[in-house]
Structure 1
Amino acid sequence: MATSRILVADDDEAVLQSVTWLLQENGYEVIPANGGVSCLEQLERRSPDLLLLDILMPDADGCQLLERIKSEDRWRDLPVLMLSAQPPEEASVKSLGLGAADFIRKPYRPKELLARVQAQLRMGALLRSTRTALLRTEEALVRAQQDADSRRKLVDILHEVTGDLSVNELFHLLVRRAARALNVSHCSVVLARPGDAHAVVVAAFENPSLQHLSVQLERYPEIRAALESGQPVLVEDLETHPLYEGVREVWGIEGIEVSIRSVIALPFSVDRGQYGVFLVRRTREQELFGPADLEFAQAVITAAVAVIQRAQMVESTMADNARLEQLAQTDPLTQLLNRRALTERITAEMERALRYDSTLALLMIDLDHFKKVNDTYGHLVGDDVLRDVGQLLGHTIRGSDITARYGGEEFLVLLPETDDAGAVAFAERIRVAMEEHPFARDSMAEPLKLTASIGVAVFPAARIENVEDLFARADAALYRAKAEGRNRVRM
C-alpha cells in the first residue's frame, strides 16, 4: 500500500517540526511548508492526500487560503484539516463553512491529531474511489454515445437514463423518452414469461400513474407472439393483420371501438429471469408503423435493456453489500451490534464528544450466575434468554443509544451526551428492568428470574484516551459490582 502524503502548513517552526516528526513516526510522508506562500508552492509541485493548514499565518490568512484552494477543481477533493489556537466556536464554524473537512485546536493532543488524520485519509480515499467509479461510468456512457452517434434520439435517451435510478424508475423514464423519440402516443413496458396467460403493465407513457396493471394476453396477440418467438412483431394495421383476426371478432361482438391502429412489440429479457415486451403503438390519427420504424425501435429498446441490466446489477450489488455489511456488524443470536461494530461507533462518538465538548457513557452489563441457566436448562434455553435480554435492552434505551453484545452473557450500551449521574441512573433503570422481567418459557412451570451487574464508564475522563481505555474502565467497574455482591451498578 502506498504511503499517504500529508502537506503541513504552519508558520510556527516548533509546531511544524513536532507535527512533521509525529506523522513521520507513524509512517506518513510529510511535506512541510512554513507559511501560506510555501503551501501553495508545494501544492503546485506535489499532490498530497491531506492538508494540515494553520488558520493564522503572517504571510496568509488560512481561511482565505482555504477558500482559494477549494475554488480550484484540481484541489476540490483534497481534505483539509484546520489547526488553530482560536476558540473552536469562532474558527471551526468559519473554516468548516469554507470547505474544511475537520478542525483541531492548538495545542493539539498527539493521539487526537493522529485519529483525525486517519479519519480524513479514509474519507479522502473513499471519495477518490467514488469519483473513479463515477469517471468509469461516465466513460462507459461516452462510449455508448459514440457507438450510437448516428442515432441522435437514442443518444438523448441514454443520456437521461444512465443516472442513479432504480429499475422501476427506469421503466417509467424509458417509456417517456422512447415515446417521444419514436413519436408514438402509447408506449408501455409489459412483464410476462412465455406461456403466461396474464401479463403486468409496469409503466405506461399514456398513463403515468398506472402501476402493475394485470392484462389478459389473449387480447394482446402481438405480446404473446413476441414472447413465444423471442422476435420483434410488427403489426402495421390492426384492421387487416391476420394476427388480430380473432381479436377483431371479439371487438365486433362486444361493440368495442379501438383507437390504436399500428403496433410494434419488442421482447426483451434481463438478468434474474425477467422477461417482458416493450409495446409501442400509434393511433388512427398517426402514420402506420413500417420496417424503418421497427429497426429504429429495436435500436432504442436494445439500448434500454442494457441500461436496465446495468441498473439491476447495481441494485443487486448494493443489496448484497448491505446484507454482508449487516452480517459483519450484527451478532447472529441477538441481532444487536457486535463488539467490532460498536467499537467503530464508540470511536466516532468519542471524536464527536471532543469536538463538541460533550460526554458519553458506556455500560458493561453481565448477567449474574448465567452459567446455572445453561447447566440447568440447556444452551437452547440459554440462547432464548440472551435473545430476550437483547429485546429488553432495545425497549429500555433511548433512540440515540446503541446496544451491542460483547460476548457470552455480556452486553454493552453506549449513551451519547450522558454524564456520570445520568449514566448511573440509566444503568440502575436497566438493572431494575432486568430484575423484574420474567424470562418465561413454555417448558417451565415458573419463569426464570435473572439479575445483572453493571459497570459504568464516562468519557472524557482522566486516563481515558481511546476505546480500549474506555472498555477497561467499564470492565473494572463491572468487576467491583460483581465483587460487592452482584445485582448492582458501580462506576
Structure 2
Amino acid sequence: MPPFKPEEFLILIVDDISKNIQLLIEILDSLGYATTFAIGGKQALERVKIVKPDLILLDLMMPEINGIEVCRIIKSEEETADIPILFLTASNEKDHLLQAFEEGAVDYVTKPFKTSELLARVKTHLELKKTQNELKLAYKKMQKLANTDPLTGIANRRYLLDFAQKEFQRILRYHNNLSLLMIDIDHFKRINDTYGHDNGDKAIKNIVFSIESCIRKIDLLGRFGGEEFVVILPETPMKGALEVAERIRALIASQSLILEEDTVTLTVSIGIVSYTSEDKTIGQMIQRADRSLYQAKTGGRNRIVAL
C-alpha cells in the first residue's frame, strides 16, 4: 500500500464559532492537510458542492441548520453522498449521536477533544475513503472491460444486446421511435487474405471511427461480430435512420486507407429497420435488420436497404 499523504486530502471544517474553526485549521495544517471551512450549516451546504472535500468535520449543534440536518441533506444528494462526515460534539450532546449515525455520519469526536484522537480518526476515515475510491475505480474498469470490444473500444455484443433490450422496453412503455442499423464491411475477407489480419484490424478501426463521427451521443455503436456492427438509434424514425445510414455509407466510400503501400477504398452495406407494432421482441427487430442487410449485400453492396 502506498504511504499515506495528508496533502492529497481536503477537509471541510463546519462550525458556527470562528475560534473552533481556527483551532482545527491549525491542527490539520500542521500535518499537511489541505483545509477549508464554512461558518454554519447554510454556508456548509453551499461550500460542499463547490470544493467537494474528502472529509467533513461537522459541529453537531449549530443555529439555523444543525449538524444533523446538514448531514441528512449532504447524504441525500448523489454528488456528495459518499463524503464521510465526522461529528464534533460536546459530551452532553451524545443523545443526538444515534440520529446522526442514522443520517449517515461515520464517526464522532467529543469536545473538548484530544488532538491525537482527532487526528487518528481523521486519518482512519480518509484511508477508508481512499480505499473505497480505488475499489470503485477498479470496478468501473472491470465493468468497462466486460462491456467493451477489446479491438475497437466500442460496445461488445453482450452490452449492445442489453442496451437494445432496454431501449425496446422503453418504446413499449413510452411509445417512442426506435431504429437499428446493421452494417457490414464489404469484401472484408479479401482485406484479411490480401493484407493480413493486422491490416484487417486497422480497417475495422477506421470504419468504427467513421461511423462514430456520424452518430449522436445518445446512439450506441456496437460490434455485433467480426466485421458486422449495429447502431441503435433511440427516438429515431425511419426517415432519420435513412439519413444517418447514408451519411455513414457516403463517408466511408469517400475515404481511402493505406494498407502496405496500397490505397484501398472500403465500402459498407447497411440494413435498416424501425420499430413496428409487429415487433414483439428486440430479437425480431434484429432479425429484420439482418434480412435487410442481406438484401443490401446480395443487391450489389455499398448500398442501404430498409425494411
Aligned to 1:203: 34
Aligned to 2:26: 186
Aligned to 1:470: 285
Distance 2:30 2:159 in 1: 44
Summarize the Cα distance change of 1:314–1:174 in structure 2 as closer, same or farther, 3 Å threshold: farther
Say if 2:183 and 2:269, in contact at 8 Å, map to a contact too.
yes
Say if 1:360 and 1:416, in contact at 8 Å, map to a contact too.
yes
Runs of 4+ in 1 over 4 A off after TM superposition: 167-170, 174-177
Summarize the Cα distance change of 1:468–1:187 in structure 2 as closer, same or farther, 3 Å threshold: same
Shift of 1:320: 0.9
Shift of 1:468: 1.3
1:265-315: CA deviation from partner (whole Å, max 9, x where unpaired)? xxxxxxxxxxxxxxxxxxxxxxxxxxxx9x911111111111112111210
Alignment of 1:459 onto 2:299? no
Alignment of 1:173 onto 2:7? no
Summarize the Cα distance change of 1:397–1:184 in structure 2 as closer, same or farther, 3 Å threshold: closer
Aligned to 1:324: 142
1:436-471: CA deviation from partner (whole Å, max 9, x where unpaired)? 121235x41x42101111111111342x21121111
- Secondary structure of the 2:175 match is coil
Summarize the Cα distance change of 1:423–1:183 in structure 2 as closer, same or farther, 3 Å threshold: closer
Say if 1:187 and 1:205, in contact at 8 Å, map to a contact too.
no
- Secondary structure of the 1:173 match is strand
Distance 1:450 1:341 in 2: 27
**Greater radius of gyration (CA):** 1
Q: Which runs of 5+ in 1 are unaligned?
A: 1-166, 192-200, 212-292
Say if 2:21 and 2:37, in contact at 8 Å, map to a contact too.
no
Summarize the Cα distance change of 1:185–1:340 in structure 2 as closer, same or farther, 3 Å threshold: closer
Aligned to 1:362: 180
Distance 1:190 1:329 in 2: 46
Say if 1:455 and 1:478, in contact at 8 Å, map to a contact too.
yes
Letter in 1 for 2:285: L
Letter in 2 for 1:448: V
Count, aligned residues: 230
Distance 1:428 1:474 in 2: 16
1:316-347: CA deviation from partner (whole Å, max 9, x where unpaired)? 11101111111111111111111111112111
Summarize the Cα distance change of 1:350–1:447 in structure 2 as closer, same or farther, 3 Å threshold: same
Shift of 1:171: 3.2
Alignment of 1:297 onto 2:115? yes
Distance 1:202 1:382 in 2: 53
Letter in 2 for 1:449: T
Query: What is the aligned-residue identity percentage?
Result: 33
- Secondary structure of the 1:334 match is coil
Alignment of 1:415 onto 2:255? no
TM-score (norm. length: structure 2): 0.67
Say if 1:365 and 1:454, in contact at 8 Å, map to a contact too.
yes
Summarize the Cα distance change of 1:354–1:376 in structure 2 as closer, same or farther, 3 Å threshold: same
* Pick aligned residue for 1:438 from 256, 260, 277: 256
Shift of 1:414: 0.8
* Pick aligned residue for 2:132 from 295, 298, 314: 314
Letter in 1 for 2:158: R
Distance 1:176 1:333 in 2: 53
Letter in 2 for 1:338: N
Provide the aligned C-alpha RMSD in A: 3.2
Shift of 1:394: 0.9
Correspondence 1:251-290 to 2 at 5 A:
none
Q: Which runs of 5+ in 2 are unaligned?
A: 1-5, 39-46, 52-110
Summarize the Cα distance change of 1:472–1:189 in structure 2 as closer, same or farther, 3 Å threshold: farther
Letter in 2 for 1:203: A
